[in-house]
Amino acid sequence: MPETHAARELWCIRKGLVPYADAHALQKELEAARQAGRVQDVLLMLEHPPVYTRGRRSEPSELPMGEDWYRAQGIDIVDTDRGGRLTYHGPGQLVGYPIMSLKPYRDDVHEFIRRMESAIIAALADVGIAAGPIEGLTGVWTHEPRKIASIGVHVSRGVTTHGFAINVNNDLQPFEWIVPCGIDNCRMTSVANELHAQFDMERFMDIVSREVGVAYTRLPVRQDSVILAGAEAA
């Protein structure tokens, strides 16, 4: 059955700086609503206070200083149900959580991730940064190579959560203290580092929203809130 115009929409929600636990709870609400067909596909965009998040394949060696040392630096540590390994989130980094149905993409999570990579690559190209994938690794890299974006998703009952993190204006030092994404000697970069200037986050979210829409053949629609079970949830 062909999709209706409304079903092709991608609801884009911007939330600013949100603690990781609160953002995860909101994702779970939106996931349940998407599974029940009460909302369209959603792209939740926000930033987190400093936090290391561990994926399902993370290992203790990825935090070589020991957890107490990192917490003493003001960085929380959280276990997640996403794929992938350890990464860092902090202010100035754009985190995107697509809560989307996999059905239009043949329930193929690898296809879904490839589209995500292509959206990030296109968004970076739009601001003058050449980047791409590396064979055998997930994420997006500049050509030096330096990693500029990380990807990790979770799928439940055909709906995705978690997603991507693009380094825009964030401090890169916390990456130096860990083994990011389980990759030894992984060098990180950011939009600001590549352009030698801070980049306006609102403008970058506009660009990312557009390119995610292109990659997933969805029409981005700005939503300031989404009503779930009769209460404002975004």
Closest CA to 19 of 55, 42, 46, 45: 46
Q: Report the percentage of the chain scoring pLDDT > 90.
A: 77
pLDDT reported for residue 129: 98
Cβ neighbour number for residue 30 with a 10 Å cutoff: 25
Q: Residue 200 and residue 36: Cα distance in Å, rounded? A: 36
pLDDT single digits (tens) 69-81: 999 999 999 998 8
pTM: 0.92
12 is catalytic: no
pLDDT-based confidence at residue 233 (cuts at 50, 70, 90): low
Instruction: Output the pLDDT for position 31.
Output: 96
pLDDT by residue (tens digit) across 24-66? 999 999 999 999 999 999 999 999 999 999 887 788 889 999 9
* Residues 128-175 pLDDT 10s: 999 999 988 889 999 889 999 999 999 999 999 999 999 999 999 999
Domains and CATH numbers, the chain: 6-232 (3.30.930.10)
Distance between CA 145 and CA 186 in Å, rounded? 9
pLDDT computed for residue 196 by the predictor: 97
For residue 161, the one-letter residue type is T
- Of the pLDDT bands very low, low, confident and very high (cuts 50, 70, 90), residue 199 is very high
Share the mean pLDDT of the chain.
Answer: 91
Q: Which member of 30, 179, 181, 205 is catalytic? A: 181
pLDDT score, position 144: 87
pLDDT digits (tens, 9 = 90+) for 106-120: 999 999 999 999 999
Pairwise pLDDT comparison (6 vs 11), residue with the higher score: 11
What is the 8-class DSSP label of residue 177? T
| Model pLDDT, residue 183 | 62
Q: What is the C-alpha separation between 121 and 140, in angstroms, rounded?
A: 7
Q: What is the mean pLDDT of residues 202-228?
A: 91
Please report which confidence band the pLDDT of residue 230 belongs to, taking 50, 70 and 90 as the band edges.
Answer: very low
